[in-house]
Structure 1
Amino acid sequence: MSKFFKNNKLVVILCAIIIFISLIGISLRSQSQSHAEQYVGDSVSFGQRVVSYPVQFVTGYIDDLFMSNNDKKPSNKEKQLQAENERLKAENKKYKKELDVEDISKYDPISSTVISRNPDQWMNTLVINKGSKNGVKSNMAVMTSEGLVGRISKVNQFSSQVDLVSTNTRSNRLSVNIQHDGNNVFGLVDQYDAKNQELVISDINNKDKVKKGDKVVTSGLADQLPSNLYIGEVTKVENDKYGLSKEVKVKPAASLSDLNHVYVAKRDAQSVPDNESGVN
């Protein structure tokens, strides 16, 4: 009799393992998340918030403490800094207009805080503290004031996962336009060079003219992101190892390795009028 129960116990354990592996496989294949997955994701993110918020509070308090010690500077110095800040804002607005780059404010941005980032996936994914309850949806663009950093890949009710532009996966290839002398050269971000902290655009036609300093923006094609979101600028152009096409290196404008606060572009490309989208 004891042998019978032992055998049944092994069968139950084996079935449980098979069901568990099957659920994992289904989850990996599916872009949408079940209610159970969302519940687990939100539960984990809640625990991460409990840890991250006190750390951010203490860090902010220390920063404020050091800043308060510097508040004894003359008032004319503060006025000078304010004037300089206004000048930089004006120049930034001017450059964005000249580059035909979209302003994040046009997309009803959702301000979010990074609450989780695994060391082994540091340049691939992160988790923010906003989800479907805040209007976040899959494939929405995620940005900082400097430029695009990624897109929403998974959405829970109160948290979301972001795939960074530096994610080295074939399914995450980002379609871009390289702006050269008023013309757009289309390309795909093929990989991320972790050593030089640069995005790599491969298979650019040798006839297409691209040079160092050219600006790179989203194309608005294939990946459901709005067009003309600023990504960075070209740092190097060279022939591939076969000499049949060009390989372009791009320095991201945003610091991908140090992200604390980001913005989710709530409006998608279809909801932006033609006169706002920058598409002629």
Structure 2
Amino acid sequence: MKKILQNKKLLTVCIILIIIFSVLGFSVSLRKKRNTPLLIQSFGNDIVAVGTRIVDFPVKIISGGLNSVHDILNAQNENNYLKSRITNMQRSEAENEALTSENKQLKSALKLKDTLTSYTTINASVISRSPDSWSDLLVINKGATAGLQKNMAVMCGGGVIGRIIEVNAASAKVELITTTDKSANRFSVQATTSDGKIVHGIITVIGNNQLAFTQVVDSKKLKQGSQIYTSGLGGNSPKGLLIGTISSTTHDTFGLSDLIEIKPAGEINDPSVVTVIKRKVAG
């Protein structure tokens, strides 16, 4: 009995395998002969395709949204970085401009030290300049301990910009050449005329901080572009320091004498490093 049952099971399995292989063979043969797939196969393929599209649609939306958020975050980070770079560049440009101006003034000071062999020079930095006395005074960071004395000439940018009027231990006050104070001690200066003659005078301020060469004899022989130097005849200022050049020669308001206007050679508007001239021989 057991053998009969085992033979039936074996026979059933063989029949099932034969049916499966027959169906597969028939499907393959039929697919080769048909131009279109079977209805059931076509329906199944359509269901799979539609299902794939339905699943892909939200996935694409979510993926695109995540990419957009990522791009926005990257753009924000790049924007913040660029803003910081712009701020740093602006600060660097301001520092570079200040250093360039200071470097130019230092070069002028070194050149001055080489040419003024009869005098010693003391470099100092400007530490204060009051807005209400902008054209009159400034304060430097050197004083009596550095050898500064009252009435010493102060230069910047290759020309005289003023003289020391007050000396403290570690600082000094400089009266600018453009001061409007009528009681200020003016520089005695000189210039060479077109025929080689030396004429003397003093520096005066006329309206709107404009410098003029006054009390000059033979002023008609002074030409535009002539240089004005300190004469060394007054105070503690040495001889031969450049004040400026003659910019124009006109008549005064009364038409009685010539008015010789001077363009300052020194950096008066924005001095940061100055050179104090210390005369070796007492004036």
**TM-score per shorter chain, which class?**
0.5 to 0.7
SS at match of 2:239: coil
Structure 2: distance between partners of 1:177 and 1:201:
9
If you compute each CA radius of gyration, which structure gives the higher value, 1 or 2?
2
Q: What displacement does 1:62 show?
A: 2.7
Q: Aligned partner of 1:186: which letter?
A: H
Structure 2: distance between partners of 1:193 and 1:162:
21
SS at match of 1:228: strand
Q: Does 1:256 align with 2:261?
A: no
Q: What displacement does 1:157 show?
A: 0.2
Question: How many residues align structurally?
Answer: 182
Structure 2: distance between partners of 1:179 and 1:236:
16
- Partner in structure 2 of residue 180 of structure 1: 193
- Partner in structure 2 of residue 49 of structure 1: none
Question: In 2, are the aligned partners of 1:224 and 1:269 still within 8 Å (CA)?
Answer: no
CA 1:208–1:161 in 2, change beyond 3 Å: closer, same or farther?
same
Q: What displacement does 1:204 show?
A: 2.9
Structure 1: distance between partners of 2:118 and 2:232:
15
Name which of structure 1's ranges 240-249 and 213-222 shifts more when overlaid on structure 2: 240-249
Deviation digits for residues 42-93 of structure 1, max 9, x if unmatched? xxxxxxxxxxxxxxxx9xx8359869xxxxxxxxxxxxxxxxx9xx99xxx8
Q: Aligned partner of 2:131: which letter?
A: P
SS at match of 2:260: strand
- Partner in structure 1 of residue 127 of structure 2: 115
| Aligned positions of 1:213-232 closer than 5 A | 213-232=225-244
Question: In 1, are the aligned partners of 2:189 and 2:229 still within 8 Å (CA)?
Answer: yes
Q: Any stretches of 5+ residues in structure 2 without a counterpart?
A: 1-87, 98-103
SS at match of 1:115: strand
Q: Aligned partner of 1:217: which letter?
A: Y
Give TM-score, length-normalised by structure 2: 0.57
1:141 to 153, 158, 177: 153
Q: Which runs of 4+ in 1 moved over 4 A?
A: 63-67
Q: What displacement does 1:106 show?
A: 4.5
- Partner in structure 1 of residue 78 of structure 2: none
Q: What displacement does 1:158 show?
A: 0.2
Q: Any stretches of 5+ residues in structure 1 without a counterpart?
A: 1-57, 68-84, 97-101, 272-280
CA 1:64–1:262 in 2, change beyond 3 Å: closer, same or farther?
same
Q: Does 1:166 align with 2:178?
A: yes
Structure 1: distance between partners of 2:172 and 2:95:
33
Question: In 2, are the aligned partners of 1:188 and 1:202 still within 8 Å (CA)?
Answer: yes
Q: Does 1:157 align with 2:187?
A: no
Structure 2: distance between partners of 1:149 and 1:104:
17
Give TM-score, length-normalised by structure 1: 0.57
2:277 to 256, 265, 269: 265
